[in-house]
Amino acid sequence: MALFSQTSHQGFQALLWKCHMFWPVSRCRQLFAASFSIPSREKINYFSFMTSSSTALPVDPKETGVLPTKERSEIDCKEEKGWDKETKEIPEGKHHFSSSVGAAKKRSMSPAVSRHKFTDVQPPEKPLESEEWNRLRENFQLPEIFEEVMLNSMIRCNSPIDVAKSLLTHMAKRDSDVAYSMLVKYLTLCVQQGQVSEICDVYDIMKVRFKILEIGAYNLFIKGLSNSDQWRMALTLLEESKKIMIPSRTSYESCIKAACCHQEMKLAFELYHEMLAKDVVPTLDVLQSFFDFSRGMKGAELQKELFSILLYLRDNQIYPHKTFMWSIKLWFESIPGRNWRGHLTNIKNSGQCPVCNHQLEDSNLTEEEYSNLSERIIRDVIHGTDTFRKTSPQEFEAFQTFVENRVPFDIVIDGLNVSHIKPKKMQCENLRDAVDCLAKDNVRLLVLGRKHMLLNSSNWKREVMKEMQAKADFFFAENISEDDAFLLYATLRSGKHCKFVTRDFLRDHKACLSDSLTRHLFRKWQRGHQIMLTASGDGRRLKFLPPFQYDCVVQTTGDTWHIPYKDVFEEKYSYEVPRKWLCIQQK
């Protein structure tokens, strides 16, 4: 009787919860309809995961076309929303995308439970007796996974841990054991709520019960303990987890933050260097916390370390986001007796900082870098595994001699790319406009194209081509060759002053380069040498965006620092660079 009302109450709540979602009622209906129109075979697939007596091969629950994509994405988004709500309750705002609690949840959620099937299970609000749990379990559609689903929903709803405890007690009484996965889920809940004593208890139990732990549990322990006064224990756990696998960056992050919090900067930096040595990429949060916690502290050693972090940003072409930038600024200004002053500014194409009139580094590569990059482009981009993939040896040789005889060019144009700029105009006219714009005062032009441009077709008129060939050199590659590779080669071969025109971002060519250092060089060179063009408005004129005169990286002259920063997630592509800068100078 009591339980009946309880379950009905729960059902009622679940229903409410379902309907206050942001679907209109019709959407709800559609959803139900969709879930009823599952072909029977797929239904079996669905359950085959969960039951031991499965009858069909499993299908990845994400892949099953049970719901049309749209619904599925909405459901995902609903889940995400739920997570956002919860992550807000975790202290310290996160900037990087994957909140580790979310990750932990994903980790603990075995794919056996189809994600959007049991999101409507409401955990009880009070601890229950064993009999009550039993009854709930019997009423659940798949009793085998009842506990798992229940714990997952507790994590999702952030239930009080007493409720989870009562469930664990019920399980322990029934089987005189609690499964490891359940313990991990319970641990997730404790970490979520910062229940330190519970975390320690779970650790003691696990330590005794299992010979080794897996990395997921370690991550949770480290995360949970690092925010408490037991943070030293988190460090020992980090040591332990190294025996199994390389710890995750979030584990390092938690430990470093804890060390910073307790003013153990030396320890924090040790961990940081260890992390770099293991090729674990530090999160921006870690770097930021160094600046946050060193505010107002003295010490040449510490300053050196923090400068080295800034140089790390420089070497890896990382741009700090706004809050990180503020941390850097405040730290600089807090150094006693140094009188650093920071200003926010925008830097124009000239590359002169309006605040301190300092000219930023230009984007030219050194001789060594330049020859290195040229070599790598020929080796990796043009030849790659097989020269025939992008061109052919004969063709490339012909092109090389062609370039050698005419070098140096000032501007190299990707003919086909430019010819598509205005879809309403004929392609050859587009190209002619561009060539006319650029062909001024003895600029040596090279236009790269393909052989089909020479055939007198509706898009490529012979007389227009003739006209252009008087103004610029042309090279026509085979129709099945890649012209971009030639573009890079000709530009590099002509020397540092040479620019190239294309709207292509050259991402695929960057990807051909095997190591990140060369990729960074490539991007730097690209920024300094690529002329982008856009058709303005209804396209009477072509607009050329000049390449950057200055290099967009963190840079210093000793008594000034210039740090580019981005508004959070504004520049999301690797070829985009921020325009906003933090200028720091010593008064």
Partner 1 sequence: MQSANMLLKKIVRSSVLPVAAQHGMKRDLFPLSRTLSLSLCLKQDNSCKPSEKLDLDAWKKVMKSGLQEEVSETVSEPQELSSLAGARETLEMWRLAGKLVPEHVSEEQLKTFMECPSKSAKKKYLKYLYLKELHKKNDKRKMEEKRERRLEAQEQTSKTDETKKSPFLSLWTSTMDKAYNWRAAQSMIFGQPLVFDMSYEKDMSVREVANTVKQLVQSEGCNRRAVDPFHIHFCNFKDDSLYHREFLKHYKEAWGRLLITVTEQCYTEVFPKDKLIYLTADSPKVMKTFDHDKIYIVGSMVDKSIKTGVSLARAKRLGLETAALPLDKYLLWNTGAKNLTLDQMMQILLTLKDTADWKKALEFVPKRKYCGFVSKPVSELKKTLDLVNTLKLGKRREEVQKQFAKNYPKKYKLKQK
User: Minimum Å distance from CB 205 to partner 1?
Assistant: 5
User: Minimum Å distance from CB 248 to partner 1?
Assistant: 8
By CB under 8 A, name the one of 110, 316, 350, 534 that touches partner 1.
110
Closest by CA to 406, choosing from 500, 473, 333, 453, is 473
CB 329 within 8 A of CB 569: no
By CB under 8 A, name the one of 89, 201, 229, 362 that touches partner 1.
201
- Rule CB under 8 A: say whether 207 interacts with partner 1: yes
By CB under 8 A, name the one of 16, 172, 443, 454 that touches partner 1.
172
Closest by CA to 152, choosing from 180, 199, 129, 186, is 186
CB 258 within 8 A of CB 67: no
Tokens read off for 215: 């990395």
**CA pseudo-torsion sign 214, 220, 223, 228:** negative
- Rule CB under 8 A: say whether 63 interacts with partner 1: no
Q: How far is CA 365 from CA 136, 376, 380, in A?
A: 69, 14, 19
Interaction mask 417-446, partner 1, x per CB under 8 A: ------xx----------------------
- Rule CB under 8 A: say whether 72 interacts with partner 1: no
Q: Distance between CA 104 and CA 188 in Å, rounded?
A: 7
By CB under 8 A, name the one of 62, 70, 85, 298 that touches partner 1.
70
Four-CA torsion 244, 245, 248, 249, nearest 10 degrees: 120
Closest by CA to 249, choosing from 217, 225, 284, is 284
Tokens read off for 37: 């129109």
- Rule CB under 8 A: say whether 354 interacts with partner 1: no
Tokens read off for 149: 């689903």
Only segment of 4-12, 261-269, 349-357, 540-548 that touches partner 1 (CB under 8 A) = 4-12
What do you get for the CA distance between the two ends of the chain, in Å?
A: 79
Identify which of residues 411 and 512 has a Cβ nearer to partner 1 in the complex: 512
By CB under 8 A, name the one of 11, 12, 143, 229 that touches partner 1.
12
Closest by CA to 378, choosing from 251, 515, 512, is 512
Interaction mask 79-108, partner 1, x per CB under 8 A: ----------------------------xx
Only segment of 206-214, 265-273, 372-380, 571-579 that touches partner 1 (CB under 8 A) = 206-214
Q: Distance between CA 87 and CA 202 in Å, rounded?
A: 23
Closest by CA to 38, choosing from 57, 66, 62, is 66
User: Minimum Å distance from CB 209 to partner 1?
Assistant: 6
Interaction mask 362-391, partner 1, x per CB under 8 A: -----------------------xxxxxx-
Q: Name the residues that contact partner 1, by CB under 8 A.
A: 1-2, 5-6, 8-9, 12, 48, 54-58, 69-70, 107-112, 126-127, 129, 148, 162, 165-166, 168-169, 171-173, 176-181, 184, 201, 205, 207-217, 243-246, 385-390, 392, 423-424, 479-480
